[in-house]
Structure 1
Amino acid sequence: MRQQDLVTRQAPTDTRDPEGPQALYQRWINELWAGETIARELVSDDFVGHWPTRDIHGPDELQAIVDDTRSQLRELMFVIDVGPFVDGDLVAARWISTGSNKRGPARFTGNDILRVADGRIVEYWTGTSPG
């Protein structure tokens, strides 16, 4: 059996398989940040997100941050620019987002680092800047 066949048969969030955390990150960007209410599916109950100005805890606070961000920016879209890369239990990627607000078009770039355990995101660090 080819290695590729083995990989596709494993659970998509199996942290022993680099494609598991990569698939989890794809859902993080392409589903959660696209507005789907799936924080409880992606992160653990003891999740901690480290934003530059504060920490948030648990899936409910995470979903609230996502929902609040999406309410402030119309037509918010994210594209993964680099990665995701997996090293052990860590996933890293760079993204670009675009949208608009009352002042006009908005563009942000960011770098994410996520720690994954048991198929869920347990910790998150982000660095985001306009541009």
Structure 2
Amino acid sequence: MPETPDTIRLLALRDTPLSLDEVYAAVGDSAAGGTAVFVGTVRDHDGGRSVTSLTYSAHPSAERELRRVAEKVAADYPVRALAAVHRVGELAVTDAAVIVAVSCPHRAEAFEACRRLIDDLKHEVPIWKHQVFQDGEEEWVGSC
């Protein structure tokens, strides 16, 4: 199914807490038989080291790149509705850093499209993670 103007329902970078309910509601569609949702959360460790703080930063082109990624997923799968939101700024352990959701006519398509959406967002949208570890060392990670 080709992308329609209302297929991409919600795309955003936000410095405020993300809402799973908002994202899920955005992809509701009466023709969808499957909805897949992924929530990426801040964990208390990375690579065996304790994380004490984490901040996400985005390049000015990040929203444009997020739209490009979303449009490609919507064109490659029979997407009825799609949504993706990512936090920027300082986050705490257990905070939602990213939420993506896709609804499609069937569950297998929804799972595949949702996986593609989060994977492409992670690899192609210029969002960087700055982590501070308990031992005082810091690390910048390419995206997500």
Q: TM-score range by the shorter chain?
A: 0.3 to 0.5
- Richer in strand (by share): 1
The higher relative CO (CA closer than 8 Å, separation ≥ 6) is in 2
TM-score (norm 1): 0.37
